[in-house]
Structures are given as C-alpha cells and as structure tokens.
C-alpha cells in the first residue's frame, strides 16, 4: 500500500498536537457501557449502525427470496402455502425497499461519509440522527415480529387498495405494513434534513459548490428528493391506516372515494424512490471510477447537473406505473415521453465515466470490478426500461416476470453492485483494515454470474406470460426449466454473499492494516486516520480543488481558533464555503432513545386503536421537551464567550 498524501500519522505529531488530540479525545469520546450505547450521537457510530442493520435486513430479505426460488423451482410445489408465499414476496419487497435500499444507500452512506467528505466533525443535528436510527430499527423489528406471528404484510410492497383496504385485507397485516412506512419515512426525512444542512453549512472552507465531491452532490440531490417525495407515501399510508382503523372513506368508491388516489400518491413517492436508490449508486460509481482511473473525473459539471436533472425529472414519471389502470391516453403519451427523457442524464453520466476510464490509468481492484459490473447490469435494466416506458409493450408485459426482471436489473444493478463496490472501497476507512482482494473478486464473479443466471431468464418467462406474485404454476406452461435455471442462479448469489461475509469477518480480525489512504484517493475522508477518531480531523481542513487531497497546496492552511473544550464546529456560507460563524454540537444523551421509544409506542399503538396516536403523543411530547431542555453548564459557558453577528 502506498500512502503519498501529506497527512501526518500519529508518529509525526508534535508535542502540542498530541495535547490537542488528547483534549479533543476527551470532549468527543462516545459514552461507554450498556447505557452508553443508547446515548451515542457521533455520525460514525450511528452510520455504522445504520449500515450493519440495513445489511442484516438485506440478508433476511435475501433468505425470503431463497424461499420463493425454492417454491418456484418445481411446478405445483407445496413447500410454501399460497398465504405464506404472499407474505414472503411482500416482506421481501418491502424489506428490500424500505429497510435495506434506502437506509443503506442514503441513510447509512450519507450519515457516515458526508460529514467526513465535507471536512467537519459531526453531522448536523446529531441527536436527531440518533433518534432517526432507533425509529428505523424499531420499525424493522416491529415488521419482523409481526411476520413471526403470522401477521406479515401480504398485499405486495405497495399494498394497493382495495386489496389492502378494510374490505379485502382482514386482520392487521396491512396495518403493520402502513406503520413500517411511517417509521422508515420519519427516519429518512430526518436524515435528509441533516444531510442538506451538513452540506450547505458545514463544509470545509474553500469547498465551494463547484468543488463538492460528486458523492456528496448525489446525497444532497437524494435528500431533496426524499423531502419532496416521501410526503406522498406519508399521506397514502396514513389514509390507508385511517380507512382501516377509523372508518375514513378515501378509497371506498361507494362513498365517493377513489382507489386510484392511492396509486397516484404512492407513485408520487414510489417513482422518485427508484432514483433515491439509484442516484447514490451513480455517485458511488463516479467516486470509484475517479479513484481507480487515477485522474479527475471527466465532465464534473455534466455529472452534477445530470444528478440534479434526474432528481427533478423523477417527479414527472409516476404515472408510467399506472399505464394499465385506464388513465387518459394523453397522460399516457406524456408519461411515456417523460420516461424516455430521463434516460438522457443517465446516458450522459455513462459517457463521462467511459471518458474518465478511457483517458485514465485504470487500476483494476475489486471496487472497479463492481463498477464495471454495474455498467453491464444497469444498462441492461435501462434498456428494458425503455421497453416498458412504451404503453403497448407495458400493457403486454404488465405484472409479468418481465417487469420483475427489469426492476431487479435496475435496482440490483443500480444499487447493489455500487454498494458492494462501496463496501470494498470504504471498508478500510471504516475499520482500518483492507478486505481480501482474492475473496473480493470471487464475490464479484459469483455475484455477477449468479445475478444474470437468476434474472435474465425472468425476461423470457415473463414474455411467455408467467405472472408475478403467483405461488405456483402448472407443469405444462413451459416455464419449468427457466424457473429451475433461475433458482440455480440464486445458489450462486447466496454463495457470493457468504464469501463476502467470510471476507468481512476474516478481514476485521486479520486484514492488512489500511493506513489513512490505501487507494490514494482524493476526497477528504482519506485525510484522517482509519478508522477516523471521534473528532474526525485533528486539524479541520481547508480545500483547494475538487479532489481535496490531490489538489492541496504544499502548505494548505488548516483551520485554527475553534475552542477544543466543547464540540465546536465551523459554519461556512452555502455557495463559496467562506467561514461565517461557529457553533457547538450537542453531546451524548439518552433522550433521543427515549423519544424514539415513546414514538414507537404511539406508532404501534395506532395499529390497534386511533387513540394510540392521540394518547401516545403525550409521552412523545414529554421526551421531546426533555431532549430540547437546555443544560445549565454549557449554556453558561457559551454565554460567557458569545459573539453576536453584526447586523
């Protein structure tokens, strides 16, 4: 491993710097012990928890997929009952979308990496961040406890009415689904606000808008999309819950309601959701391609504008999920055109990546392999996306396995391939140790081949008319062989993930020591030791170019003058990142955890009675007031040193 960046390791620290590090260490130390776990507020701690939890849900949902593949490997099989199969595919889809994809690609990545990449010491609103994690965790646990009690959601990952409504969805299964949405949306929205504020106000001096790393741009675009799209599903799932528990009539046609209102609101969120998952993937690819092509990325401005354009356009496509619902033809034409247009910014990104690779000195390590796999798989998915954007084709393949194949190509291609690349790429930063290269490449090839064996035949079986969401099929349909091939592919995917887990567990114990910057990359997270200390940077950095470490001047200035007896941070201006103020992060506390417990009781209670929300709001309010109540000592310390802005 070569480390050429001019970053001091501990051995080179002066006496003075050692003393400073000790002071920062004392101020930033996360609490220890059993209760300490519930008080932690540092973004690296919470980010790791998000990542591990989301990966746990990924494994669970993957096992559910295995159950489905086993069932479908043989015609007229009875390994899973039809009822259990319904729960399996709904739990699989809902988990992958709400408990894995968004929490992993957005929350985990953003919370861990964005503050490091912009050169600050914590994420904005660290207590809100802790609160968001606990809500996410509790929501997921609730969902799986219900599943273990035979109350797993079973109406598809979008829980359409009327199937999920009070007339056709008896029991509590759709209610648990609706509240899972509530839990995950609150956590997603919280992280969205934290991300935007961190990037807008906490960047290192010199990191003007045109120097923000593309990965960070991607997460900001996603954060804005979360803010404007999630309210759609907030409303649709709340209306669903209210129709079921307090007799509102939103989706009851007999009382002036309308089932398509549900679909409009759901897809107002659901389509941007696809890009919420994909944009971080694209941003990861830009990062990996830059680092492993050993040059500044080609077309930075095009890449950033493509991400922003995708973010806007994603809000104009939702009706293409509803082509089969009998909407007016003029609307169909518009949404077909819009669906075609969104391929343009993605295409522009692909060309920039190709140009970067073609003109760089490519280093073919595991993360780069995942990027190459991403090109192949995602572009395949994009192609079939163009097919289904066209109304006649869509009507033909609607609700068949062709669609299943299409969205697994875009979602696994657009998110899981970049994610596995990202795991290999940032594992050394997070843990301080390298993953094994041989095992990493073995994972890649097993996954890449297994993926195509599993999902490519789904196009064919879909064209042959096999519908989605059927628990079995007759032997004379001509689908048996293709289904068996798909199930064999699953075995390879399973092995790939096993190898990854072995690699991770071995490397955690005995992997090669990574050092601060094992890939010799250019962004700021590599400017500090691996894993980063809890104050992130001994000296807050300043930035001189798009790749902060590659472009640093020989004597790049550092920030001085922040008090090191408090969790101080620097506020900079949004556009040019000129320093404009100082503030303090709040420290560790149990309140966000207590507030999350109170909120969870209210959410889960409302599945059973509307009073759950009204009475449940009281403990929520009490814990929130406890959380916001100022502490005397820090208040006095701050007051003694206050400098007010001049008007």
Partner 1 sequence: MAERVERPVLDVSRLPTVGFGSRSITWWGIMGMMAIEGTVFVLMIASYFYLHSRNSEWPPHRNPPDLLWGTVNLVLFLISVVPSEWYRRRARKGDLRAVQIGLVLVSLFGIGNVIVRYFELWHLNTDWSIDAYGSAVWTLMGLHVLHLLTDLVDTIVLTVIFFTPLVEGKRFQDAEENAAYWYFVVGFWIPIYLVIYWAPRWLHA
Binding residue for partner 1, selected from 559, 590, 601, 615, defined by CB under 8 A: 559
Tokens of 16: 């003075």
* 72 versus 240: smaller Cβ distance to partner 1: 240
* 192 versus 342: smaller Cβ distance to partner 1: 192
Give just the sign of the alpha carbon dihedral 171, 173, 174, 176.
Answer: positive
Residues 66-125 that bind partner 1 (CB under 8 A): 124-125
Tokens of 320: 């293409």
* 314 versus 410: smaller Cβ distance to partner 1: 314
Q: CA-to-CA distance for 321 and 331, rounded, in angstroms?
A: 12
Q: Is 330 in the site for partner 1 (CB under 8 A)?
A: no
Q: How far is the CB of 574 from partner 1 (least distance, A)?
A: 7
Q: CA-to-CA distance for 33 and 505, rounded, in angstroms?
A: 24
Of the candidates 316, 339, 110, 315, the residue with the CA atom closest to the CA atom of residue 229? 315
Binding residue for partner 1, selected from 230, 415, 466, 595, defined by CB under 8 A: 230
Binding residue for partner 1, selected from 62, 79, 228, 340, defined by CB under 8 A: 228
Q: CA-to-CA distance for 134 and 598, rounded, in angstroms?
A: 11
Q: Is 439 in the site for partner 1 (CB under 8 A)?
A: no
Q: How far is the CB of 563 from partner 1 (least distance, A)?
A: 8
Residues 260-319 that bind partner 1 (CB under 8 A): 261, 264-265, 268
Q: How far is the CB of 193 from partner 1 (least distance, A)?
A: 4
Cα–Cα distances in Å, from 226 out to 61, 271, 451? Answer: 23, 11, 29
> Angle 32-34-36 (CA atoms, 0-180°, nearest 5)?
40
Q: How far is the CB of 223 from partner 1 (least distance, A)?
A: 9
* 308 versus 393: smaller Cβ distance to partner 1: 308
* 16 versus 476: smaller Cβ distance to partner 1: 16
Q: How far is the CB of 242 from partner 1 (least distance, A)?
A: 7
CB 580 within 8 A of CB 572: yes
Q: Is 146 in the site for partner 1 (CB under 8 A)?
A: no
Binding residue for partner 1, selected from 362, 571, 597, 601, defined by CB under 8 A: 571
Binding residue for partner 1, selected from 574, 608, 609, 611, defined by CB under 8 A: 574
Q: How far is the CB of 375 from partner 1 (least distance, A)?
A: 35
Q: CA-to-CA distance for 573 and 594, rounded, in angstroms?
A: 34
CB 321 within 8 A of CB 398: no
* 329 versus 645: smaller Cβ distance to partner 1: 645
Residues 198-227 that bind partner 1 (CB under 8 A): 200-202, 205, 227
Residue 37: helix, strand or coil by DSSP?
A: helix
* 229 versus 293: smaller Cβ distance to partner 1: 229
Of the candidates 469, 481, 321, 290, the residue with the CA atom closest to the CA atom of residue 389? 321
- The Cβ-side half-sphere exposure at 514, using a 13 Å CA radius, reads 31
Binding residue for partner 1, selected from 73, 163, 189, 340, defined by CB under 8 A: 189
Tokens of 139: 């929501």
* 392 versus 630: smaller Cβ distance to partner 1: 630
Cα–Cα distances in Å, from 124 out to 114, 329, 374, 646? Answer: 11, 46, 32, 24
Q: How far is the CB of 268 from partner 1 (least distance, A)?
A: 7
Q: CA-to-CA distance for 212 and 286, rounded, in angstroms?
A: 13
* 62 versus 579: smaller Cβ distance to partner 1: 579
Cis-peptide, bond into residue 531, ω within 30° of zero: yes
Q: Is 241 in the site for partner 1 (CB under 8 A)?
A: no
Q: How far is the CB of 236 from partner 1 (least distance, A)?
A: 9
Q: How far is the CB of 202 from partner 1 (least distance, A)?
A: 8
Q: CA-to-CA distance for 368 and 521, rounded, in angstroms?
A: 13
Q: Is 555 in the site for partner 1 (CB under 8 A)?
A: yes
Q: CA-to-CA distance for 259 and 162, rounded, in angstroms?
A: 7
Ordered DSSP codes for 10-23 = GGG--HHHHHHHHH
Tell me the H-state helices in 360-479: 366-389, 391-397, 401-411, 417-431, 437-463
Place of tokens 């291609």: 413
* 107 versus 486: smaller Cβ distance to partner 1: 107
Q: How far is the CB of 417 from partner 1 (least distance, A)?
A: 31
Place of tokens 């492993």: 292
Cα 351 from chain centre? 25
CB 182 within 8 A of CB 603: yes
Binding characters for partner 1, 523-552, by CB under 8 A (x = yes): ----------------x--x----------
Q: Is 150 in the site for partner 1 (CB under 8 A)?
A: no
Residue 482: helix, strand or coil by DSSP?
A: helix
Of the candidates 83, 233, 59, 54, the residue with the CA atom closest to the CA atom of residue 147? 83
- Choices 209-217, 241-249, 437-445, 520-528 (CB under 8 A): range interacting with partner 1: 241-249
Q: Is 171 in the site for partner 1 (CB under 8 A)?
A: no
Tokens of 328: 């007016």
Residues 608-637 that bind partner 1 (CB under 8 A): 621, 625, 628-630, 632, 635-636
Site size with partner 1, rule: CB under 8 A: 73
Residues 122-141 that bind partner 1 (CB under 8 A): 124-125, 128
Q: Is 331 in the site for partner 1 (CB under 8 A)?
A: no
Place of tokens 């820090």: 634
Binding residue for partner 1, selected from 213, 232, 382, 489, defined by CB under 8 A: 232
* 491 versus 571: smaller Cβ distance to partner 1: 571
Length of the chain: 647
Tokens of 121: 């010491």
* 11 versus 301: smaller Cβ distance to partner 1: 11
Q: How far is the CB of 433 from partner 1 (least distance, A)?
A: 28
Residues 242-261 that bind partner 1 (CB under 8 A): 242-243, 246-250, 252, 255-258, 261
Q: Is 322 in the site for partner 1 (CB under 8 A)?
A: no
Binding residue for partner 1, selected from 296, 464, 506, 638, defined by CB under 8 A: 638
């Amino acid at each position: 491993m070569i480390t050429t960046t001019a970053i001091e390791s501990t051995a080179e620290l002066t006496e003075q710097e050692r003393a400073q590090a000790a002071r920062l260490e004392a101020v930033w130390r996360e609490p220890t012990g059993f209760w300490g776990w519930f008080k932690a507020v540092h973004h690296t701690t919470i980010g790791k928890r998000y990542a591990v939890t989301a990966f746990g849900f990924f494994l669970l949902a993957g096992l559910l997929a295995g159950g489905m593949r086993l069932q479908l490997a043989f015609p007229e099989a009875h390994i899973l009952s039809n009822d259990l199969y319904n729960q399996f595919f709904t739990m699989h889809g809902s988990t992958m979308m709400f408990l894995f994809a968004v929490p992993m690609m957005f929350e985990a990545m953003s919370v861990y990496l964005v503050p490091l990449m912009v050169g600050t010491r914590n994420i904005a609103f660290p207590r809100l961040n802790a609160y968001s994690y606990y809500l996410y965790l509790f929501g997921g646990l609730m969902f799986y406890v219900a599943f273990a009690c035979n109350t797993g959601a079973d109406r598809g990952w979008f829980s359409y009415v009327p199937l999920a409504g009070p007339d056709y969805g008896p029991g509590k299964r759709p209610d648990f689904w609706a509240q899972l949405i509530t839990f995950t949306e609150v956590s997603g929205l919280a992280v969205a606000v934290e991300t935007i504020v961190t990037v807008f106000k906490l960047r290192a001096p010199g990191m003007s808008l045109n120097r923000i790393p593309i990965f960070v741009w991607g997460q900001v675009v996603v954060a804005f999309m979360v803010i404007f799209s999630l309210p759609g599903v907030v409303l649709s799932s709340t209306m669903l819950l209210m129709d079921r528990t307090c007799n509102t009539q939103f989706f009851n046609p007999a009382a002036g309601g309308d089932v398509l209102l549900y679909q409009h609101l759901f897809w107002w969120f659901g389509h941007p959701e696809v890009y919420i998952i994909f944009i971080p993937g694209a941003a990861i690819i830009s990062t990996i391609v830059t680092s492993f092509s050993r040059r500044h990325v080609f077309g930075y401005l095009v890449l950033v504008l493509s991400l922003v354009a995708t973010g806007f356009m994603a809000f104009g496509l939702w009706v293409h999920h509803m082509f089969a619902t009998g909407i007016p033809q003029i609307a169909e034409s518009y949404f077909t055109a819009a669906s075609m247009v969104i391929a343009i910014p993605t295409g522009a990104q692909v060309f920039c990546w190709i140009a970067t690779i073609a003109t760089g000195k490519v280093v073919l390590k595991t993360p780069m392999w995942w990027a190459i796999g991403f090109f192949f798989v995602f572009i395949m998915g994009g192609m079939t996306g163009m097919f289904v954007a066209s109304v006649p084709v869509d009507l033909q393949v609607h609700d068949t396995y062709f669609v299943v194949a299409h969205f697994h190509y875009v979602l696994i291609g657009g998110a899981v391939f970049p994610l596995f690349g990202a795991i290999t790429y940032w594992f050394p930063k997070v843990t301080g140790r390298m993953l094994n290269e041989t095992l990493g490449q073995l994972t890649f090839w097993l996954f890449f081949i297994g993926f195509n064996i599993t999902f490519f035949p789904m196009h064919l079986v879909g064209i042959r008319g096999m519908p989605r969401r059927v628990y079995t099929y007759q032997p004379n349909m001509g689908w048996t062989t293709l289904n068996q091939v798909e199930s064999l592919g699953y075995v390879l995917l399973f092995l790939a993930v096993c190898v990854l887990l072995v690699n991770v567990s071995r490397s955690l114990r005995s992997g090669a020591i990574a050092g601060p910057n094992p890939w010799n990359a250019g962004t700021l997270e590599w400017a500090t030791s691996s894993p980063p200390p809890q104050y992130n940077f001994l000296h807050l950095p300043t930035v001189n170019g798009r790749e902060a470490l590659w472009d640093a001047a020989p004597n790049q200035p550092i920030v001085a003058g922040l008090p090191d007896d408090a969790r101080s941070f620097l506020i900079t201006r949004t556009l040019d990142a000129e320093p404009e103020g100082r503030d303090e992060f709040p420290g560790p506390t149990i309140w966000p955890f207590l507030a999350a417990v109170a909120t969870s009781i209210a959410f889960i209670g409302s599945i059973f009675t509307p009073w759950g929300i009204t009475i449940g709001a009281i403990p929520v309010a009490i814990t929130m007031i406890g959380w916001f109540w100022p502490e005397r000592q820090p208040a006095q310390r701050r007051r003694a040193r206050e400098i007010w802005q001049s008007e």
